[in-house]
Structures are given as C-alpha cells and as structure tokens.
Structure 1
C-alpha cells in the first residue's frame, strides 16, 4: 500500500541523529502537541512521556508503517485498544493467557473465595437472588465476575506495558454451544455474526461487554465455543433483572444465528 507522501530518502539516518539528542526529541514532541488544540488539558494525552520515547515511537511508526506504535505513545491505546474501549469489537475470553473475565462464583452460584464475602456482600446478595430466579435455558450459565478492558503504552524506558482500565464487578451471562456441536464454520463468519450482535447490544445496553472465542499466548485463534455478555453493576444494577432479560435475548439470538449458519453450511 502506497503512502500519501513520497518516502524521504535517508530517513533512518536523520532519525538516528535526532534520537541521540534528547533536547531535539523534546522539541519534536512539543511541536506535535502544539498542533493539537487543548492537548495539554487532555488527561493521558501523552504530553507527559519523555521526548525520547515519543520520538522513537514516531520514527518506528514511520519506518514500519505501524500506526499503533505511535498511538500508544500519544493516547495509551493501540488502534484495536480504541476499538475495544469504544465497544466496537468484542473481547476474547482469556486473551493471550490473561484471565478475563475473572469468575467469582461457581456453577451453583457460590462464591469461589468465601473469605472475600465482605468485599462483595451487597453485590453478591443481588446476584444470588437473580441466580435463584433465573430462567432455565439450555447450555446457559450465570456467574458473578470481574471484567476489564485494556490499553497499551510505553514505560519511561520505552518498553510496552499493558494497562488495565474500567475494572468492574458484574454479572456474566455465559452462552455455550451444545456439546454435540463441532464448530466447523469459518471463524471470520462467526466474527461477523458476533459483531452484528455486539452492535445490537450497544444499542440496547450501552457499555455492556461481549466476549467470544479465545486466542492463546502465541496469538493462535481457537474455535469459538462460547459467548459471554458482561453487565457491570455500576452501569446496570438499577434494573438488572430487566437488563439481563434484554442481554439474554441478544446472546441467545447470536448463538442461534451461528448455529443456523452451521446448518446451512452442512447442507
């Protein structure tokens, strides 16, 4: 893919010389943020990072055509961090080996660590009442859980760090596929269906999280075998029973659409 402007000759040599001079790096950073209205007042805008880190990220992005490398320096988000944190793409279960969501209850609705009962007492009472009153739905479970989103940025040494944000306790609605079903459907097709239902979820329940699939520590995709909708108490507890009903309709609709697509492919 071509760039908007022609590539400069001997760019690497110029970049190397600038990186040797911290004052030059700081001046470059100042010039960048001066061109952005109100950047100084924008919390976490990247103005507080060292000029050398900023310049290195900028030059790395230019050389490798890697926009995320630069965005992490100026807003602590990669391109896909921005999409996830804008609720525009779903989150993978336990992505790259990091547990998310973190289950707080077992399949029977009991706290996994009773020593933390005092921490979750009020929320747990609400959850347990809803758990006892839930409808019987095949291949469906309800858990209390902690969920979070992530962003990425640089340390002062220029190393990439993962930052957890929006950590909340809530109710996780867990939709599994029947054990008799072996998902042979194209993962891209599943993703398209999940994304469609994520948009429906955001229309009805803004700020609810949708989980799907799995990707291991080596970045290898695993077949989608379950879906999840996470409702943080801080956003949805006022009408949690009604919100669960709405979320269940969307989650079950997503699962049925995937199963229907599989049946079409089998014919």
Structure 2
C-alpha cells in the first residue's frame, strides 16, 4: 500500500540526528500537541511522556508504517486497544497466556478456594440465585468471574508496557461447542459471525463483553472452542435477570450461526477440508 506523500530520502539519518538531541525531541513533541486542540488538558494524552520517547515512537511508526507504535505514545493504546475498548472487537480467552477472565466459582456455582474473601457477599448471592434459576441449555455454563481490559504504552525508558484497565467482577456465560465438532472454518468466516452478534450485544446490552476462542483449563488446552458473554455487575446488577436472558439469546444465536456455517461447509463438495 502506497503512502499519501512520497517517502523522504535519507529520513533515517535525519531521525538519528534528532534523537541524539533531547531538546529537539521535546520541541517536536510540543509542536505536535500544540496542533491538537485541548491536548494539554486531556488526561493521559501523551503530553507527560519524555520527548525522546515520543520522537522515537513517531520515527519508528514512520519507518515501519506501524501506526500502533505511535498511537501508544500519544494515547497509551494500540489500534486494537482502541477497537477493543470501544467494544468493537471481542476478546480472546487468555490472550497471550494471561488468564482472563478468572473464574471465581466452579461448575456447581460454588466459590472456589481463595475466592471467598475476594467475592462480595451481595454479588455472590445475586449470582447464585441466577445460577439456580437458569434454564438447562446443552454445552452451557454460568460462572462468577473477574475480568479486565487492557491498553499498551511506553515507560520512561521507551519500553512497551501493558496496563490493565476496567478491572471488573461479573457473570460469565460460557457457550461451548460440542466436542464432536472441529471448528475448521477459517478465522475470517467465524469472526464475521462473531462480530455480527457482538454488534447485536452492544445494541441491546452496551458495555457487555464478548470472549471467544479456546480456553486453557489447568494448563491443558481442550479441543473445544468457546464463546463467552461477560456481564459486569457495575453496569447490569439492577436488571441482571433480564440481562442474562437477553445475553443468552445472543450467545445461543451466535453459536448456532457458527454451527450452521460449519455444516454448510461440510456439505459443500468444493470444500475438502471441512469436517466434523
């Protein structure tokens, strides 16, 4: 993909010279933020990072056509952090090996060892009432859990750091796919379906989270993939019973849509790789 303007010749030499001069880096940073209305008043807008870190991120983004490298310096978020935290993409279970969400209860609805002091008694009582009232749905489980979202930025040494934001406790509804099914549709097809239902979720239950993918259990990756909807107590506790019902409808609809896509691919003679 071509750039809007022609690439400057000897850009690396120019950048190297600027990076050697902290005052030049600071001046470059000041000029950038002067061009953004109210940037100085915006908390976390990037104005507090050293000029050398800002300049290095800017030049790296220019040289590598890496927008996220610069976005992290400006707003402590990569491009996909912004999408994720705008509820425009779902979250992978245990992304990059970090447990998220963290289960507080087992499959019987009982608090796990070590969760008693952490879990609020009022919230657990609410969860357990819903757990006892839930409908019998195949390959479905309800848990009380902790979760979080994240963003990325630079520290003063110019190293990338991951920051947890919006740490929350809520109810996780887990929709599993039957163990007999191998999800061999490609990522684009499955994600197109997930995104469609994520938008339905946001229309009906703004700020509910959707998870997808495989989830490690006790360090062992199971063969089944999962779909999860996470309802935060801080947003939905006053109408949680109705909210669970709406979320279940969306989650089950998404799972059925993916299974229908798998079945269609299996029956397509042109597709030799799909199967169960």
Q: TM-score normalised by the shorter chain: which range applies?
A: over 0.9
Q: Return structure 1 stretches of 4+ with deviation > 6 angstroms.
A: none
CA distance in 2, matches of 1:183, 1:29: 48
How big is the shift at 1:179? 1.5
The structure with the greater share of residues assigned to helix is: 1
For normalisation by structure 2, the TM-score amounts to 0.92
Size of the alignment, in residue pairs? 262
* SS of aligned partner of 1:7: coil
Structure 1's unaligned 5+ residue stretches are 217-221
Match of 2:271 in 1: none
Match of 2:5 in 1: 5
Q: CA offsets per residue over residues 99-155 of structure 1, 9 Å max, x none? A: 011111110111113563464211111101111111111000000001111100001
Contact 1:77 1:151 in 2 (8 A): yes
SS at match of 2:136: coil
Structure 2: segments with no counterpart, 5+ residues: 217-221, 268-276
1:208-261 residue CA offsets vs partner (Å, 9 max, x unmatched) = 000001499xxxxx9871100000000000100000000000000000000111
Q: 1:263 to 1:79 in 2, by over 3 A?
A: same
Partner residue in 2 for 1:180: 180
Question: After superposition, where does 1:223-262 map in structure 2 within 5 Å?
Answer: 225-262=225-262
Answer yes or no: is the 8 Å Cα contact 2:15–2:59 preserved in 1. Answer: yes
Q: Which residue of 1 aligns with 2:151?
A: 151
CA contact (8 A) 1:212 1:228 kept: yes
Name the SS for the 2:48 alignment partner: coil
Asked whether the equivalents of residues 19 and 25 of structure 1 are also in contact (C-alpha less than 8 Å), the reply is yes
Determine if the alignment matches structure 1 residue 191 to structure 2 residue 191. Answer: yes
**Paired residue for 1:132?**
132
Aligned residue in 1 for 2:165: 165
2:115 and 2:202 map into 1 onto residues whose CA distance is: 35
* Residue in structure 1 matched with residue 29 of structure 2 by the alignment: 29
Segment of structure 1 superposing worse, 110-119 or 54-63: 110-119
Contact kept? 1:212, 1:224, Cα under 8 Å: no
Decide which moves more: 128-137 or 179-188.
Answer: 179-188
* Structure 2: distance between partners of 1:18 and 1:203: 48
> What whole-Å deviation, never above 9, does each CA across 1:70-116 have from its counterpart, x for those lacking one?
00000000000000000000000001101011111110111113563
Match of residue 56 from structure 1: 56
Q: Secondary structure at the match of 2:116?
A: helix
Q: Is the 8 A contact 2:215 2:225 kept in 1?
A: no
Give the Cα separation in 2 of the matches to 1:184 and 1:136: 28
Residue of structure 2 in register with 1:87 after alignment: 87
What is the RMSD of the two structures over their aligned residues, measured on CA atoms?
Answer: 1.6
TM (normalized to structure 1)? 0.95
SS in 1 for 2:212: strand
Question: 2:110 maps to which residue?
Answer: 110
CA distance in 1, matches of 2:95, 2:55: 30
CA apart distance, 1:29: 0.3
Once the two structures are TM-superposed, the CA of residue 186 in structure 1 deviates from its matched residue by 1.8
Are residues 223 and 89 of structure 1, via their aligned partners in 2, closer, same or farther at CA, if it must alter by over 3 Å? farther
